[in-house]
Amino acid sequence: MQFSDRRAHTLRGSKLKLVSMAAVVGAALLVVGAASAGYQPGAALGKRANDTLIYAGASDPTYLDPALVSDGESFRITKQIFEGLVDFRPGTTKVVPKLAKSWTVAKDGRTWTFSLRGGVFFSDGTAFNARAVCANFNRWYNFKGPFQDASATYYYQTVFSGFKHNENSTLGKPLYSSCRAAGPLKAVVKLARRNGPFLSSLVLSAFSMQSPTAMRKWGADQGTIRNGTFYPTGQYPFRHPTGTGPFLLEKWTVGESVVLKRNPRYWGRKARLARIIVRPISDNTARVQALQTGEVFGMDLLAPTLVSTVKRNSKLKVLNRPSFNVAYVGINSAKAPMTDVNVRRAVAYGLNRQLVVNSFYAGRAQVAHEFMPPSLPGYEPKVTKYAFNPTKAKQLLNQSSCHVPCRISFWYPTGVSRPYMPDPKANYEAFKASLEQSGFQVETTSQPWRPDYVKNVNQGTAGHLFLIGWTGDYADADNFLGVFFQGFNPQFGERNAALDRLLDRAEQETRTARRIALYKQANRLISQFVPGVPYAHSVPALGFQKRVRNYFTSPIGTDEFDTVSLGGQ
């Protein structure tokens, strides 16, 4: 190679190197430049950051016809768009008027007369009146075909049992009989039988009032079953949910966000914020990190282990949701030696519940003494309480058919964390140790939550003892005690006839004070009979930026956003 060629070669080689380096440096600068501008979600969109709440839930809603959904994320949205005849006072379980100003129940206990609020309109302009109320009740009662599937109308079937023409044998006799408009603002609902939980069950978002006009126009009653799953085929539940509530659906992008905007024609006090945006973030840690970065301003389902992370952040705060669940050690009274009440009472004395609650709930639970949370009417403070007492447990065993050491089997689930039981294995190990201290010899069985454990528990084929729990669907003692003990429940093995009769009476009693007294009596009886040992009511947590104000948490998880404001408003 000649000198000039060599020099040209060297120059070209250097040029290539320079170009490569420049490209690498340029790309790096681009990334760093884009990044180092920092990320302040609200900065570029100024005013919106102060009149819009971005809230993180765990998943998308399914759809937005409240009569056809049963999951919390759907109700989170429908609660803002729709209202029912009654509601809870914010943050409590006290039933208060909403679209109905007042109500009476006739002496027969079956005829409910609702006096409705005047001057209320659905967001499509349709008047809310007695005819609209009856249209909604009759719609549910007349559901046919795929709408009678439990995946479509779970809550209607839970509360009202059956339809006008039941199309399968698992449905019961319908509770609803008829509805009549006795005046423009007077709706008379007649039930087939007396039912105490009826009024509190109307708080459920599933029984919200929807615009009959919009439902007809947008095909709310179009649906089908595909691969065994109900699927609405009209546009109503996806694009045109129409209620009387403080918010309207503006936009729903699946997997990304539901955008609600303030209803300018709302009959009551207008929502403080112009918009609410709910974004689904399924991972617990990702939800908290989005809160830390300011990409969301509030979040639900804050895991107990992450509560301290939020508390340590000076810009964030934790709110508590009133406890509405119960964790319990179930006892199968059909399996000896659990047929003997002294053995069951020995179990109760032998479980160190305080230790479990103190150790494995991150300070977010209280010891449970009953199968329903303290916030519910019917809770009885004077039940027999079984404080941990190994000596007493052994005495009872020696008086029973199963002397010390009494051999029993105890089951717990794996592969699961529940709000009432974040760490089942930890709970189990602590309980096993305390039972063995109390004269029992414990044989362990663990199974995966899905599919085996729940199936065996519900079939009554699990061990003598098993860990499980329940979170309430609606705020009535019937949704706890009735679910567990009314009728035969294989979980508990034996049926207590006296308890059965008491709960039947309570269900049919419509006078509030009398119902409360009956449920208190039931709780006293349960604490004597010991079909199981409740041990914890956990307190779910939510996380917020400190500037989020006036957020009231509902025990049943359907918080209302119309009172919420953002710092300085």
Partner 1 sequence: MLRYVVRRLLLLVPILLGLSVLLFFWVRALPGSPAESLLGERATPELVAAYKERYGLDEPLYKQYGTYIKTTFVDHDLGVSVATHRRVTEEIRQRFPATVELALAAMFFAVGVGVPLGFLAAKRYGGVFDQSSLIVSLLGISVPIFVLAILLKYIFAVRLAWLPSVGRINLLNYDAKHPTGFYVLDAIIERDPETLRDVLKHLILPAIALGSIPLAIISRITRASVLDVQSEDYVRTARAKGVAPATVDRRHVLRNALLPVTTVIGLQTGLLLSGAILTETVFAYPGMGSWLRDAIFNRDYPVLQGGILFLAMVFVLVNLVVDVLYAVINPRIRYT
Element (H, E) at 290: helix 284-293
Instruction: Write out the two tokens for 540.
Output: 């779910």
Q: Does 44 bind partner 1 (CB under 8 A)?
A: yes
Among 89, 101, 425, 455, binds partner 1 (CB under 8 A): 455
* Closest CB to partner 1 among residues 255, 264: 255
* Identity of the residue, 3 or 5, whose beta carbon is nearer to partner 1 in the bound complex: 5
* Distance, CA of 95 to CA of 90 (rounded, Å): 10
> Residues 91, 111, 150, 525: which binds partner 1 (CB under 8 A)?
150
Does the footprint of partner 1 cover residue 301 (CB under 8 A)? no
Site for partner 1 in 156-215 (CB under 8 A): 168, 170
CA-to-CA separations, 285 to 56, 78, 290, 319, 552, in angstroms, rounded:
12, 26, 9, 18, 24
CA distances from 551 to 91, 546, 559 (A): 9, 11, 8
Site for partner 1 contains 543 (CB under 8 A): no
Residue 443's nearest CA partner among 435, 452, 453, 451 is 435
Closest contact distance (angstroms) between CB of 275 and partner 1 is 7
Shortest reach from residue 342's CB to partner 1, in Å: 29
Q: Cα Rg for the chain, rounded, in angstroms?
A: 29
452 belongs to the binding site for partner 1 (CB under 8 A): yes
Tokens 């990320």, residue located: 39
Q: How far is the CB of 367 from partner 1 (least distance, A)?
A: 21
Q: Which is nearer to partner 1, 169 or 269 (CB)?
A: 169
Interface with partner 1 includes 563 (CB under 8 A)? no
Nearer to partner 1, 20 or 308 (CB): 20
Place of tokens 């918009």: 275
Specify burial of residue 15 (Cβ count, 10 A radius: 0-12, 13-18, 19+): exposed
Q: How far is the CB of 222 from partner 1 (least distance, A)?
A: 14
CA 249 to chain centre: 22
331-333-337-339 Cα dihedral, nearest 10 degrees: 140
Kindly determine how many residues on this chain lie close enough to bind partner 1 according to the rule CB under 8 A.
79
Q: Which of 290, 316, 396, 533 binds partner 1 (CB under 8 A)?
A: 290
Write the single-letter amino acid at 151.
S
Q: Looking at the chain, how many residues does it have?
A: 569
Contacts for 198 with CB less than 8 Å, ≥ 6 apart: 112, 159, 175, 191, 510
What phi and psi values does residue 25 have, to the nearest 5 degrees?
-65, -40
Question: Which of 303, 362, 454, 525 lies at the binding interface for partner 1 (CB under 8 A)?
Answer: 454
**Structure-token pair, residue 172:** 């019961």
Strands 440-448, 406-414: pairing kind: parallel
| 514 makes contact with partner 1 (CB under 8 A) | no
Of the residues 4, 38, 119, 312, which one makes contact with partner 1 according to CB under 8 A: 38
The reply to whether 250 sits near partner 1 by the rule CB under 8 A is yes
Q: Which of 43/336 has CB closer to partner 1?
A: 43
Q: Which of residues 2-21 bind partner 1 (CB under 8 A)?
A: 5, 8-9, 12-13, 15-16, 20
Query: What distance in Å separates the CA atoms of residue 367 and residue 320, rounded to the nearest whole number?
Result: 17
Q: Which residue has the tokens 């978002």?
A: 205
Contact pick of 25, 29, 45, 498 for partner 1 (by CB under 8 A): 45
Q: Does 279 bind partner 1 (CB under 8 A)?
A: yes
Q: Residue 332 CB, nearest distance to partner 1 (Å)?
A: 15
Q: Determine which residue in the list 24, 29, 387, 498 makes contact with partner 1, applying CB under 8 A.
A: 24
Give least dist CB 175 to partner 1, A: 19
The interface mask with partner 1, positions 96-135, x = CB under 8 A, is ----------------------------------------
Q: Which of residues 458-497 bind partner 1 (CB under 8 A)?
A: 458-459, 468-470, 490
Cβ neighbour number for residue 233 with a 10 Å cutoff: 13
Region 47-76 residues binding partner 1, contact defined as CB under 8 A: 48-49, 52, 54, 59-60, 62-63
Question: For partner 1, which residue of 3, 4, 107, 227 counts as binding (CB under 8 A)?
Answer: 227
Does 225 help bind partner 1 (rule: CB under 8 A)?
yes
Separation between Cα atoms, residue 27 and residue 533, nearest integer Å: 64
